[in-house]
Amino acid sequence: MSKTESKPISQPVEFSLKQAMQTLEHKAQPDGLHVEGLIATFGSRSHGLLVLFFSIPFLQPIPLLGLSTPLGIMIAVVGTLLAFDQKPWLPKKLMRKHLKPNLITSLCKYLIKFLDKTEHLIKPRFGAFSKHPCTRVMNGLLMAIYGLLLALPLPIPFSNSVPAYFLVLNALGWLEKDGGLLILSYAIALGGFIFFAGLGVGSVEFFNWLNLSRFF
């Protein structure tokens, strides 16, 4: 295999997300960190970390137009690479993006605080399921699909937050090897498909109504 050829990734290494956040917070001091450095530091865990970082801003109900499209596309790329067992890849310009230490510290502290409150809920379980290659493929494909749904420039409340809730929970479940949380994320994914199907049907009905109203 040549040096430039992509290599398959392995399952996430054996340390918790909280430990990963503490490591990231330490590495970001004092000068910050490039996205490329983040990926190099966390290796196979970087898929989940990138999806988690890119999704968190969209948990609030108001769509972030202009931001959701590029980040949604990046999530779709990362998810596809996870499904095909390949290392994370992002455009060079983004890989060289410098993340300020205060930004990384704020995000890490937020996640550590959240994990402290939910450590009795989010934990490794159903290992045979959460570590199975088919689960990795399904997670990656769903991340890609929901990344594309997030990328849709829809000025509709919750059109960003519905994909984001799935992406955050699925990434957390993957990172923490929590099969129960993964199953919960799949239920939210199903609800998300219903939500977007409803939007599609509603849009078609609305435009049909507009066309009919021209004749009256």
Q: In Å, what is the CA distance from 94 to each residue of 78, 159, 179, 185?
A: 13, 25, 31, 28
CA angle 80, 9, 123 (to 5 degrees): 85
* Chain Cα centroid distance, residue 26: 23
Q: Name the residue among 14, 23, 11 with its Cα closest to residue 111.
A: 23
Domain residue ranges in the chain: 17-206
Query: What are the pLDDT tens digits along the chain (216 aa)?
Result: 444 344 444 444 456 788 888 888 888 888 888 888 878 777 777 899 899 989 998 999 988 888 899 999 999 999 999 999 998 888 888 888 888 888 888 888 888 898 888 888 888 999 889 989 999 999 999 999 999 999 998 888 999 999 999 999 999 999 999 999 999 999 999 999 999 999 888 877 777 776 666 655
